Amino acid sequence: MATYQELSEAIQKGNAPKSKELTSALLAEKKPAGEILNKGLLDGMDKVGQRFKCNEIYIPEVLIAARAMNQSMEILKPELVKAGVKPIGKMLLGTVKGDLHDIGKNLVKMMAQGAGIEVIDLGIDVSGDKFVQGFKDNPDAKTVGMSALLTTTMTGMKEVIGKFEAEGMRGKVKIMVGGAPLTDQYAKEIGADGYAPDAASAAEKFKAFLRA
Ligand code: B1M
């Protein structure tokens, strides 16, 4: 008999074939899809996030774990839909205008998905107008994440926040910023609601925003 613990461990080890096998086995044993998600896949990614934050593991291990989770999610998704299990919330994410760096942004996306959040990925080189349009297209997104890796592009974050204000939408979303040149102090200066130094902390903060 397969267990949630085994599935969580397979995710932590980034063992995609094993995690897919265990996901299928748990479904065959008629375990509820929501439990497989929460006690197996998300539990595993949560532990990966904690270990990444403490520098016990590094980016490659996180990417491998996320790949295992994504592959298991493909098996689980139809059952989650059938069972009516919904993500805990929706968020928009993008790398700001003029900036093509997306490795950190993609890690944030994986961690957020691993925390049960639906992520609308706007990609790289995202202008303020595109962020605002993204929110108009997804008015149920309660939070927005912006990533920047260049000192020359991080200044664009303030403009994006200004666009949300100008459109009268600032009060409807929590905005979080991150990326190597960013600091908590800078986030406060530009009027963001939060800053996270790494992808695991970002996912925790997004979760807290969505639950508030
Ligand atoms: Co670029 N680059 N790059 N680059 N690049 C840096 C950032 C740089 C520090 C290198 C250097 O000079 N030492 C420097 C920036 C200097 C500065 O402004 N202070 C630099 C430069 C100058 C440039 C170009 C201008 C070079 C040129 O063409 N002359 C050019 C700019 C292109 C553009 O964007 N318009 C350029 C191009 C590139 C590549 C395309 C070649 C490539 C990007 C490929 C890609 O992303 N698909 C690249 C790379 C790979 C780097 C380095 C080597 C690595 C960046 C990275 O992915 N780190 C980088 C030097 C370095 O950091 N050692 C460098 C790993 C990633 C996981 O970290 O993104 O910080 P990071 O994400 C972290 C946290 O910051 C946080 O979570 C992640 C970890 O958990 N985080 C968030 C990130 N986003 C978050 C959002 C959040 C919360 C947390 O909430 C929303």
Ligand 1 atom with minimal separation from the 62 CA = 80
Distance CA 174, CA 158 (A): 14
What residue's CA is closest to ligand 1, atom 49? 101
pTM of the model: 0.88
Distance 161 CA to ligand 1 centre (A): 22
Locate the domains of the chain by residue range. Answer: 4-83, 89-211
Distance 87 CA to ligand 1 centre (A): 30
- Find, among 132, 142, 131, the residue nearest to 91 by Cα: 142
Domain covering 89-211, topology? Rossmann fold (3.40.50)
What residue's CA is closest to ligand 1, atom 53? 101
Backbone angles phi, psi at 135, to 5 degrees: -75, -40
State whether CATH 3.60.130.10 applies to domain 4-83: no
Ordered per-residue pLDDT tens for the chain, 212 residues: 999 999 999 999 999 999 999 999 999 999 999 899 989 998 999 899 899 989 999 999 999 998 999 899 899 988 888 888 888 999 999 999 999 999 889 889 988 988 899 999 999 999 999 999 999 999 999 999 999 999 999 999 999 999 999 999 999 999 999 999 999 999 999 999 999 999 889 999 999 999 88
What residue's CA is closest to ligand 1, atom 25? 150
DSSP H/E element including 66: helix 59-83
Number of CB atoms found within 10 A of residue 144's CB:
30
